[in-house]
Amino acid sequence: MLRYTLMRLGIFAGCFLVVWGAVYAGVFPRGFGDSNFLWVLLLALVLSAPVSWVALRKERDRASVQIVQKVDRMKSNLEANRNQEDAADDTARAEGQTS
């Protein structure tokens, strides 16, 4: 998961540099007044999203599998704890009824 996140940030940083260069070279229009940084940031976000979607498909699938495994493990641990509590509760009730 960390690898995917770092790769995604890398793609965004690359897009940010490309957009920044294109804006200052005059390829893309500049923002109004002091909003130029926000304009470059917005354009970089918009461009990096589809690039990440295509370029990181395999890495995203790997991260998804890891997340699903962790969630399944947590669910099984919770179910085991719940069953343990139910068994202890049943035992306590059975002992209480026989006395």
Is the pLDDT at 68 greater than 90? The verdict is: yes
Reading the block at residue 57, the tokens are: 């498909």
pTM for the structure as a whole: 0.66
Candidates 21, 23, 9, 13; CA nearest to 56 is 9
Task: Return the number of other C-beta atoms located less than 10 Å from residue 60's C-beta.
Answer: 15
pLDDT in tens, 31-54: 777 678 898 999 999 999 999 999
- For the chain, the domains span 1-55, 56-99
Would you say 4 and 60 are in contact if contact means Cβ atoms under 8 Å apart?
yes
* pLDDT tens for each residue of 3-19: 889 999 999 999 999 99
Of residues 33 and 26, more confidently modeled: 26
Do the Cβ atoms of 62 and 4 come closer than 8 Å? yes
Give residue 95's pLDDT: 80
Give the percent of the chain with pLDDT over 90: 51
Give the Cα separation of 32 and 40 in Å (integer): 11
